């Protein structure tokens, strides 16, 4: 039997409260009234000191938090590269102000998740560090190049990219197009809660991502919590996933498709369908050319079409419309978008139609208004997500400016972005 004051950071303890019995390692606590415990599952919990009925020290400093530990290679373990880019997963909260700040050394995070280094040897790269909303083409290109370089090393089994969650799906989508002939798994992970919170999700996400990188699935996937509990993660195809909730840990949901796989922290992987690219021995090519003059434009009723004229005048090469329902914008009203759209297409600008409905497919054959739009040259983009269509268009226009070829590539299923048969179960998955 120990007292609360006799235990310290690094100690392995057993704690009994009125509700539960827990055991784990004491880690740095943001609040003096709370003991933070790192459980064997990799999950952190905060326990109010005044709720502790019993605390027992098992051993001292079994898991020393010591970055150099990461450099000790365990020769039998497979090799994985981790590219850190910033975001909540490598951040901490300043409890005085409530604000989040970045860890100066992202490897600190990994050092606090020993499970990961028990599965694989890790090489950490940090090409840049920023909040994900600040990322742009330059960062996407760097990421694609760094990732390809790592994947093309014989000993590397896969690449994990840690990243802010806000635009994680945009980055996953663009990497899906930029990395041609993908030969190994790429897992993008983030954290919805920072690493010093009891509800930190990054540990489980990283553990599951590590398992994903050792699988035979050669796809770009976002690997994050599948449910609010620390139970399993889902790996979602990079071109068919969205951040569906501002703060929940299970925010990333598959759209118009089921997850590629469910992954449990103990390494169990259950794939939903065998239809994924398999690990192969070829080389990955990073094809990073990108045309930045592309716009994502969401329509709303009563909205003035003059914003299209603005994009024409500003020299844009492509516009992805987020229309309503099956792919509509105003066509037969005073504020018809048709003349401006015609003008854009006549100037050689690609105009693609997606839907602002979360699920489903655009279809130009049902209503007169859509037939008029299609007649004007609007390309209906099947069930491609607006965000995916936006980055794909920038990438396609980086390959060619010929409108016919652009149309053809936009309608070609390059990285799973088009799903001909949407399973009913995918709705609200």
Q: Which of residues 354-383 bind its own copies (CB under 8 A)?
A: 355, 357-363, 365-369, 371
The nearer residue to its own copies, 15 or 389, going by C-beta atoms, is 389
- CB-CB contact of 269 with 263 (8 Å): yes
Contacts of 279 (CB under 8 A, 6+ apart): 183, 184, 185, 215, 216, 217, 218
Contacts of its own copies in 385-404 (CB under 8 A)? 387, 390, 394
- The 131-160 contact track toward its own copies, x by CB under 8 A, reads xxxxxxx--x--------------------
Contacts of its own copies in 93-112 (CB under 8 A)? 98-101
Degrees to nearest 5, angle at CA 239 with 417 and 126 = 150
Kindly state the smallest distance separating residue 19's Cβ from its own copies, in Å. 20
Among 165, 210, 288, 354, which one carries the catalytic annotation? 165
Q: Which two tokens stand for residue 37?
A: 């415990």
CA distance 344 to 324: 20
- CB-CB contact of 271 with 297 (8 Å): no
Q: Which two tokens stand for residue 167?
A: 């635009």
- The 17-56 contact track toward its own copies, x by CB under 8 A, reads ----------------------------------------
The nearer residue to its own copies, 251 or 286, going by C-beta atoms, is 251
Contacts of its own copies in 212-241 (CB under 8 A)? 228
Kindly state the smallest distance separating residue 135's Cβ from its own copies, in Å. 5
Kindly state the smallest distance separating residue 387's Cβ from its own copies, in Å. 7
Please indicate whether residue 379 is annotated as part of the active site. Answer: no
C-alpha to C-alpha distances, 424 to 61, 124, 358, nearest whole angstrom? 51, 40, 14
The nearer residue to its own copies, 23 or 324, going by C-beta atoms, is 324
Q: Which residue has the tokens 């369908």?
A: 273
Closest CA to 271 of 281, 256, 258, 254: 258
C-alpha to C-alpha distances, 125 to 40, 121, 189, 209, nearest whole angstrom? 27, 13, 15, 16
Among 17, 57, 149, 166, which one carries the catalytic annotation? 166
Contacts of its own copies in 245-274 (CB under 8 A)? 245-248, 251, 253
The nearer residue to its own copies, 13 or 135, going by C-beta atoms, is 135
Total residues contacting its own copies by CB under 8 A comes to 79
The nearer residue to its own copies, 21 or 229, going by C-beta atoms, is 229
In DSSP notation, 256-276 reads SS--SEEE-TTS-EEES-S-S
CA distance 424 to 427: 6
Please indicate whether residue 165 is annotated as part of the active site. Answer: yes
Asked if residue 201 binds its own copies (CB under 8 A), the reply is no
Degrees to nearest 5, angle at CA 213 with 210 and 215 = 115
The nearer residue to its own copies, 276 or 390, going by C-beta atoms, is 390
- What order of strands is seen across the sheet that includes strand 318-323? 294-298, 318-323, 350-355, 379-380
CA distance 250 to 231: 11
CA distance 5 to 14: 14
- Region of 44-52, 151-159, 167-175, 230-238 interacting with its own copies (CB under 8 A): 167-175
Among 120, 175, 329, 384, contact with its own copies (rule: CB under 8 A)? 329
Kindly state the smallest distance separating residue 103's Cβ from its own copies, in Å. 15
Please indicate whether residue 88 is annotated as part of the active site. Answer: yes
- The 306-325 contact track toward its own copies, x by CB under 8 A, reads xx--x---x-------xxxx
> Which residues does the annotation mark as catalytic?
88, 165-166, 243
């Amino acid at each position: 039997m120990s007292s609360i004051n006799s235990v310290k950071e690094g100690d392995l303890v057993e704690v009994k409260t009125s509700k539960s019995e827990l055991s784990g390692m004491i880690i740095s606590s943001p609040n003096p009234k709370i003991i933070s415990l790192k459980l064997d599952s990799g999950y952190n919990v905060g326990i109010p000191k005044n709720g502790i009925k019993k605390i027992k020290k098992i051993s001292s400093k079994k898991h020393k938090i010591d970055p150099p530990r990461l450099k000790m290679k365990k020769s039998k373990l497979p090799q994985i590269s981790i590219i850190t880019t910033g975001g909540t997963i490598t951040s901490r909260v300043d409890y005085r102000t409530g604000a989040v700040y970045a860890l100066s050394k992202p490897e600190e995070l990994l050092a606090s998740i020993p499970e990961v280094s028990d599965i694989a040897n890790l090489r950490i790269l940090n090409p840049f560090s920023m909040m994900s909303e600040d990322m742009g083409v330059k960062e996407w290109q760097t990421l694609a190049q760094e990732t390809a370089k790592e994947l093309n090393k014989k000993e590397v089994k896969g690449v994990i990219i840690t990243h802010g969650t806000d635009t994680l799906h945009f980055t996953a989508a663009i990497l899906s197009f930029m990395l041609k002939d993908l030969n190994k798994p790429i897992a993008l992970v983030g954290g919805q809660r920072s690493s010093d919170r009891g509800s930190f999700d990054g540990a489980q996400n990283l553990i599951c991502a590590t398992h994903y990188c050792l699988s035979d699935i050669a796809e770009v996937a976002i690997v994050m919590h599948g449910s609010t509990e620390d139970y399993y993660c889902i790996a979602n195809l990079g071109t068919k996933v969205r951040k569906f909730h501002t703060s929940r840990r299970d925010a990333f949901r598959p759209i118009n498709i089921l997850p590629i796989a469910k992954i449990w922290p103990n390494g169990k992987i259950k794939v939903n369908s065998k239809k994924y690219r398999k690990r192969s021995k070829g080389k990955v090519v990073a094809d990073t050319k990108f045309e930045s003059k592309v716009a994502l434009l969401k329509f709303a009723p009563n909205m003035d079409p003059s914003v299209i004229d603005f994009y024409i005048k500003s020299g844009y090469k492509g516009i992805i419309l987020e229309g309503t329902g099956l792919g509509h914008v105003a066509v037969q009203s005073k504020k018809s978008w048709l003349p401006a759209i015609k003008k854009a297409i006549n100037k050689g600008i690609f105009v693609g139609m997606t839907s602002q409905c979360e699920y489903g497919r655009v279809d130009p054959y049902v209503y007169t208004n859509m037939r008029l739009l299609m007649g004007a040259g609007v390309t209906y983009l099947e069930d491609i997500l607006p965000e995916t269509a936006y980055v794909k268009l920038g990438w396609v226009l980086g390959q060619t400016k010929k409108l016919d070829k652009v149309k053809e590539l936009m309608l070609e299923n390059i990285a799973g972005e088009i799903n001909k048969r949407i399973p009913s179960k995918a709705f609200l998955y």
